[in-house]
Amino acid sequence: MFPDGMKSIYARGKKMSNRVTYILAGGQLSLPFLKEQLNRHSDRTIIAADRGLEACVSLGIEPDFVIGDFDSLDKTVREEFLSQEKNVTKLNPIKDDTDTEAALSLAFEKTEGDIIILGGTGTRLDHVLGNIGILGQGFAHGRSVELLDEHNRIRLADGPVTIKKREQYGKYVSLLPLTTEVRGVTLEGFYYPLHEFTLTSYTSIGISNEIVEEEARISFDEGVLVIIESKD
């Protein structure tokens, strides 16, 4: 199914350092975008979560791990791949967590470094909101975890963040409280600055800000922020 000579570069039983781990989830995945992102890091680990395996097959990329209940996976891909590939974890369809969360747990267990979830957004808003929530699991592991698609980069912050204008993802930066309140929010280097402000769950005041200096600084005293960098 995959080109000859493509072997998993995962050292079984050991964590990998200085690598970026990509989780390919079952949401909306543009193949050109996926290819572009994967080409950014040659030193990478790929975890295909359920239907994310179809994207790997389409691009001729062998994932290091495959995990899921495979209820939404194309039948041909499921039968061909699962019958011959190793490093496959089959989950019970009756379970408490999603395939994406299971893949994230696997990433914490088997890999090190930043984790980027591709295919974690799309038409299922319930899954999108759930995927935003599980980003917070990175705090306990000291790991950066983010959602990335063609238009948005989504991450959580429980402390100060600096965004360099030349490195931002798109034009807009939006801040939403994941906790009921985020206290003491101060924004510097933004078109709409704030000073010691309390963001609450029932306002849109943090939407569509823009960076106007070389770098922008976000600081706050208490709570957890959702940071969304967006293109038009």
Dihedral class, residue 208 (left if φ above 0, else alpha if ψ from -120 to 50, else beta): left
β strands within the chain, DSSP E: 20-24, 44-49, 65-68, 88-90, 115-118, 145-148, 152-157, 161-164, 172-177, 181-188, 194-200, 209-210, 215-219, 225-230
Q: What is the pLDDT of residue 3?
A: 40
| CA-based nearest residue to 231, from 187, 157, 173 | 173
**Fold topology of 161-230:** Jelly Rolls (2.60.120)
Q: What is the pLDDT of residue 14?
A: 41
20-150 matches 161-230 in fold: no
Torsion of CA 109, 130, 31, 90, to 10 degrees: 50
CA distances from 30 to 120, 124, 164, 169, 182 (A): 12, 16, 27, 17, 34
List b or e across 102-125, with b for residues whose CB sees 16 or more CB atoms inside 10 angstroms: bbbebbbebbbbebbbbbbbeeee
Q: What is the pLDDT of residue 18?
A: 60
Q: How many CA atoms lie within 13 A of 114 on its CB side?
A: 11
Q: What does the block give as tokens for 18?
A: 């200085």
CB 9 within 8 A of CB 104: no
Does the domain at residues 20-150 carry the CATH identifier 1.20.1250.20?
no
- The predicted model scores a pTM of 0.88
> How does pLDDT run across 16-56, given as a tens digit for each residue?
456 899 999 989 999 999 999 999 988 899 999 988 999 98
**Other CB atoms within 10 A of residue 76 CB:** 10
**Along the chain (232 residues), what's the average pLDDT of each consecutive run of 10 residues?**
36 53 94 94 91 90 88 74 73 84 96 96 95 97 97 97 96 97 98 97 95 98 98 88
Q: What is the pLDDT of residue 84?
A: 62
Q: What is the pLDDT of residue 231?
A: 95
Mean pLDDT, the chain, rounded, equals 88
CB 222 within 8 A of CB 200: no
- Calculate the CA 34 to chain-centre distance: 13
Q: Where are the domains of the chain?
A: 20-150, 161-230
